[in-house]
Chains A and B, each alone.
Chain A
Amino acid sequence: MTVVAEIDCECAHCGLPVAADDVDSSAVEQFCCGGCRAVWTSLHSCGLEQYYELKAREAAVRDDRRPANVTQRRFAHLERPEFVAKHVRIASDGRLSTELCVDGLHCGACVWLLEALPRLVEGLLSVRVDIGRAVALIEWEQGRVTLGEIARRFDQLGYQLLPMLDPAARENDRAIDRAWLIRLGIAAALTSNSMAVAFALYGGLFATMATPYRVFFQWASVALAIGALVGPGRIYFVNALAAIRTRTPHMDIPVALGLFAATGSGLVNTLRGTGTIYCESATALVFLLLVGRFIQYRQQRKARQDVELITTLVPAIARRRSTDGAIEEVPIEALMRGDLVEVLVGETVPCDGVLVSGVVHFDVAILTGESKPALTNAGESVWAGTRSLDQPATVVVEVSGEATRAGRLLALVADASRRRPPIVELANRMAGWFLLAVLAGSGFTAWWWWHLGSDVAIARAVALLVVTCPCALGLATPLAIASALGKAARAGVLVKGGDVLERLAKPGTIVLDKTGTLTQGRMTVTSSEGDATAFALAGALEQSSCHPIATAISRAFAPRNSTAASTSRVHERAGYGIEGEVDGQAVALGNHAFVTERYGEAPRWAKTFASSAMARAETPVYVGVDGALRGVISVGDPIRSEAQSIVAQVRSLGWNVVMCSGDQLTVARAVGRAVGLGNDEIEAGCDPERKLAFMRDRAHASPVVMVGDGVNDLAAMAAADVGVAVRNGAQSALHVADVCLAAGGLRPLVKLLSGAQRTMRAIRITLAVSIAYNATGGVLAFNGLVNPLVAAVLMPVSSLTVLWLALWLPKFDPVRRAEEVVP
């Protein structure tokens, strides 16, 4: 038995390892896929090879290797009047411009490449790429080039231009961003000036300061604080009032109270010319809390934008055949029940309907998660979002758009994400208690010292209000989470929002998808037994088929020099096998039935091999040459090498592990056994709707985490407390998921779970430290020991400790390169 080796050299375009069976020993450059080869060729024919130099320089900084994706679509939808009206701006001089999402951007070399395009494409005036948002601003001249041509040019280089869903909403987001920046800028300027003034005032406490100067500085400080409160700090009062009206505890109530007490007492004491002022505390609080708020807002907005992109599941354009047989491209909205639609090999079906003729294999993994292609006969249903693998298909339209199964699935996703209960963040839960404690403490202080005179009593009560600063509550949580997210990203885990970490704080149930998550999601020859020359012939024959099993066999065995073997009289029997002549020899390969009908009963060794393959949930393929059975090849979707140890590690962190698969029970159980799951921990035969129900059943056992890769997992991911998408998953899965595992394989999953626990512990420590500071400050204020100097030392020191703890404590272990498993 021979086991096929993987990995030996790198793709000339994307740098990913080239599978051994893809290596072409006669060429200098090797490619991992056709897309990379196409892009490499077009770059060289345009004189854009400099791209690779730039990329090599970038690679030292960041590593994000992905194979190129060339679709050869026509992008006619970018020229339709509806699109133009909504997305394209026309300047007075006849220049057109639009902003489009770019898929496939990964580093600065891409920026250079796309921005160099105007020098090659006539009529294209400029391209400005924003790599952070993955958006390009494209400007072109009407009449000289069309947007469709530009998009095809991007496509040739491996970048897809996608329309943005809601340009108006983007514009609105941008305005909100600007307002935030300006608010922060003003608050920062007021704070720094207020601190400078405070410095002078504290200096005056030691050396006596002449009264006119002191009054002058006090007025300056009060003026700056009032500016901070009515300007950038206004939102705290607005929020606090709203919270009081709806009777819900909110962080902003203690904040507003502290701000008001500090500024109000400062103003009163300045007017009376006696007592102490804490105005710089108020100003600084406004700024520091705004920083925390801003970080939180950015995270939430990013999460929301990502959900927008999922409608790219079904093509926007269909190839409709009119009554006279001519083919025209129409948007899917124009499809009517009964229309005939052509689907070429490799294309996505645009509607739900019925196959008119022939026998076609469809890749239905997107809907069901089944790794094996579905054999569809004429008269049977086909679904939007599936892909034809081997034959062009003609489909009678039944429904299109939102009424299709894929459309309903997306509606389920949207619904599930809406229904997810928002979690009350730790900080907001604590705010109510904090407020009560501060109010009670300050009331008690006033009552206790009333016998010393109302002046003293009120001064001490105000000092307590000011010195007990809710800074840690407001600032620590967002900062700790932001720092954790940054560290997680460096460890190959992209987490889309802080609440995700809070949801993961307690162990619960983790649900793993099978195809593409526990397995690699690609059919590969895993082992073979028999005659190597027969396999070479089989490989040559399978080159003429698009079936995934055929692709796996031809990848593994086909002779590199494609002219060496000439195939003829190829006949493929869908669902059984393929036969034909290779170099004059009759070759046949297929399943058991296909072979017994030609060569009689298979010999014992072949049967043993086949049954052991089937026990591993793999497909045995028998190979016969010139009337004799010569070998058996086992083809399967290999389980990721790290899967078993990951399942064990996740368990050791206290999580229950369950597998939920669209495949049949036998396949699911075979994979489950291999990764160490018991039969009661496996749920097989799950279509997306059942996966969703499965998640809802477990909603009480919070938290439930869904780990998946495909569109069939989307609804379940959205319904789970946390959805996790693995790398190389469907684009839409990446958008719905709360967490994307950017580094290869499942290894980052353990880092995510343990990192989330550590982050929550960091937040608790930070909060405990800040409560200790507040208690100390409260006791000092109660005893009348707080003067502005004590407040000025205590507040920044407590803020700085909290900041330092929040930034330093959360830890995610970076993925070591050597460990990284290449998918």
Chain B
Amino acid sequence: MSGIFIALPVAVMIAVAAVAAFIWAARRDQFEDLDTPPRRMLHDDVPLPSQQTEKRTLH
């Protein structure tokens, strides 16, 4: 049972690490846009025709 004196601080340390990781992610705007990425990943990367030859005149 005395193992709890070590286990509890270890658990707290893990929690601190998790919070630190969360803060790191939040500061890097990982939670900024939650709507677009789940849609973006569904788009297949199909090569488009005429990538270089495209020279349409713009109005």
Contact = CB atoms under 8 A, between A and B. Distances in A.
Interface residues of A, number: 44
Contacts of B11: 193, 196
A177 B34 CA distance: 13
Given A185-B19, A185-B26, A216 B5 contact: yes
Interface in B28-57: 29, 31-36, 39-40, 42-43, 46, 48-51, 54, 56
Contacts of B51: 119-120
B39 A108 contact: yes
Interface string B8-26: 1001100100110011001
Kindly name the residue among B39, B50, B59 whose own CB sees the greatest number of chain A CB atoms within 10 A: B39
Given A132-B35, A174-B32, A120 B48 contact: yes
B58 A111 contact: no
A112 B43 contact: yes
A297 B43 CA distance: 33
Contact of A181 (B31, B35, B36, B48): B31
Nearest to B9: A220
A58 B42 CA distance: 10
Nearest to A61: B39
Given A72-B59, A111-B40, A130-B33, A193 B23 contact: no
A189 B46 contact: no
Contacts of A268: none
B49 to A, nearest CB: 4
Nearest to A209: B1
B8 A152 contact: no
Contacts of B8: 197, 216, 220
Interface string A141-173: 000000001001100100000000000000000
Given A153-B58, A181-B26, A216-B5, A47 B33 contact: no
A120 B15 CA distance: 47
A196 B4 CA distance: 13
A670 B43 CA distance: 52
A216 B42 CA distance: 51
Contacts of B43: 54, 108, 111-112, 115
A185 B22 contact: yes
B35 A189 contact: no
Interface in A46-90: 46-48, 50, 54, 57-58, 72
Nearest to B35: A132
Interface residue range, chain B: 20 to 34
Given A120-B54, A153-B58, A182-B23, A189 B15 contact: yes
Nearest to B44: A50
A764 to B, nearest CB: 33
B46 A46 contact: no
A742 interface: no
A178 B26 contact: yes
Nearest to A178: B26
A14 interface: no
A197 B8 CA distance: 9
B59 A189 contact: no
Contact of B34 (A112, A116, A132): A132
A213 B48 contact: no
Contacts of A220: 8, 12
Contacts of A177: 32
A133 interface: yes
Interface in A128-144: 129-133
A119 B48 contact: yes
A92 interface: no
B26 A133 contact: no
Contacts of B48: 46-48, 116, 119-120
Contact of A182 (B15, B26, B35, B40): B26
A665 to B, nearest CB: 45
Contacts of A46: 48, 50, 54, 56
A241 interface: no
A619 B19 CA distance: 69
A178 B23 CA distance: 9
A208 interface: no
A133 B33 contact: yes
Contacts of A48: 48
A45 interface: yes
Q: Which 7 A-B pairs have the closest CB atoms?
A: A108-B39, A47-B49, A132-B35, A185-B22, A112-B43, A130-B33, A181-B26
18 contacts: A46-B48, A46-B50, A47-B48, A48-B48, A108-B36, A108-B42, A111-B40, A116-B48, A122-B54, A130-B36, A131-B35, A152-B58, A153-B58, A156-B58, A174-B29, A178-B26, A185-B22, A197-B8
